[in-house]
Structure 1
């Protein structure tokens, strides 16, 4: 028995089969897309957890160094510095794993950190710190700003040279702008830059297309200008 195909319109059976196959393929594609999105979210969470695990000991190590320097000088401000450190660590232990935190709490953390540095450094460094705007009703990812500030104290402080650190935080509606500038003092401190690099990676993961980071690294100055669209 011979069959001839004349290129005519498909039969009702062929049409139904085609619709069924399209439905099956569409369902598979939808399931695969959903699975890929789920895997990507888990990957982002794992990367953030890894980065935070590196950041936290980094802060603790550098802050303990600050208090150690005070203790060596038998400075009367050492007890205050210990209290400030306890507040820093309490914040890290209780809030650093949150996806977002109230901006007021993050700002309080930064204030404590800068106060601790002022206590440690005294009049040896000119620290200019200002905050413009209101934090009410705003939220931000924890520890996303501090590395840029901490970096200025690492590389902008040397008792044998004139040191100046300028920090300005401007909060205007949904945009937070951080400006940090320090004169390079070529301090003998050495660091692998893990904290700063991790923060840059976290910005890419948490604020994709919602931040702008400009870094000016010249022979004499290091300047950071970061803008974030906060929630």
Structure 2
């Protein structure tokens, strides 16, 4: 199976490109300037080009221009080109005049002007570099999505050993239990619905929000069985529409981690507050739980939160908001993302 490219492979590509630039400059200079001068000047020129291209493409464009800070961006570009041009001009003149010139030359400001013009041309090329970088980044994200989807499908196939036989067996157990213990039968029904969700809904790219809510409620109902003194769960839903679609398994991370790390099993004062609100084309999901007195890891952490962040980035880019923080005795986790 082909693995998706990593950030390290992109870094290697960058180093290879700049090594190629250095070699081209070196070969163009060695015929006139000789080996020692060509080695030094090729390095200076490469640093000059890299400073302008990376400075504009990786810092000024994303941090100033794309955030609408146009005046600050223009000022920063002027400073970048001036510093790079003056540094290159003064550096090349000093090294050449003191190390390689047979007769020392007088410094002329035309040197600086020429390097400033070269800097402007390099600045223009930096936009092509930014376009290429965005293309490869998008391509890498696309390959990661395809790879993760393939892995999920393979994992699903492994876990689907005779699912219908299992569901039919659970249904038979449900009807038997219903006669003697209706509450137990109801829990078996919820377990069956969770398993059907994993088999039928989780492989989909998006599911109905109502299906996702039902999955959360079934999960919480089963988890409550393990809490000796019980837990008070308040699940508030506001303005949620029947035709809303969301990616499956997106909201479960917060709830799952509360039951894993945010419940004090020796206390009778456990409460979970959950809000799911639709507003202005976005869904806002928040959980709040009282932190246990015994030291534990509270809230989403480790691989759960890391995987959630990676998935959200692949799905929504930078249009989502994910926050976790402690506020007094409570731990609060919130997520906001576009719907439909």
TM-score exceeds 0.5: yes
Q: Which has the higher helix share?
A: 2
Partner of 1:163: 270
Partner of 1:180: 287
Whether contact under 8 Å (1:51, 1:202) holds in the other structure is no
Partner of 1:99: 205
Partner of 1:149: 255
Larger radius of gyration: 2
Say whether 1:133 aligns with 2:264: no
Partner of 2:184: 78
- Partners of 2:295 and 2:188 in 1: how far apart? 25
Q: CA deviation at 1:150?
A: 1.2
User: How do 1:107-126 and structure 2 match up within 5 A?
Assistant: 107-121=213-227, 124-126=230-232
Q: Which runs of 4+ in 1 moved over 6 A?
A: 33-36, 187-192
For each residue in 1:74-132, what CA deviation from the matched residue of structure 2 results, as whole angstroms up to 9, or x when unmatched?
Answer: x8743322221111111111111211122221122112222333455476212221111
User: How do 1:1-231 and structure 2 match up within 5 A?
Assistant: 37-38=138-139, 40-47=141-148, 50=151, 77-121=183-227, 124-161=230-267, 162-185=269-292, 186=294, 193-217=302-326, 220-231=329-340
Whether contact under 8 Å (1:157, 1:187) holds in the other structure is no
SS, match of residue 200 in structure 2: helix
Q: Cα RMSD over matched residues?
A: 3.6
For each residue in 1:135-173, what CA deviation from the matched residue of structure 2 results, as whole angstroms up to 9, or x when unmatched?
Answer: 222111111011111111212222312322111111224
Moved more, 211-220 or 178-187: 211-220
TM-score (norm 2): 0.46
TM-score (norm 1): 0.65
- Partners of 1:139 and 1:146 in 2: how far apart? 15
- Partners of 1:189 and 1:78 in 2: how far apart? 32
Stretches of structure 2 that go unaligned for 5 or more consecutive residues are: 1-130, 160-180
Moved more, 183-192 or 106-115: 183-192
Change (3 A) 1:37 1:125: closer
- Partners of 1:129 and 1:86 in 2: how far apart? 22
Q: Which has the higher strand share?
A: 1
Q: CA deviation at 1:182?
A: 1.0
| Aligned length in residues | 183
- Partners of 2:151 and 2:285 in 1: how far apart? 25
Q: CA deviation at 1:219?
A: 7.9
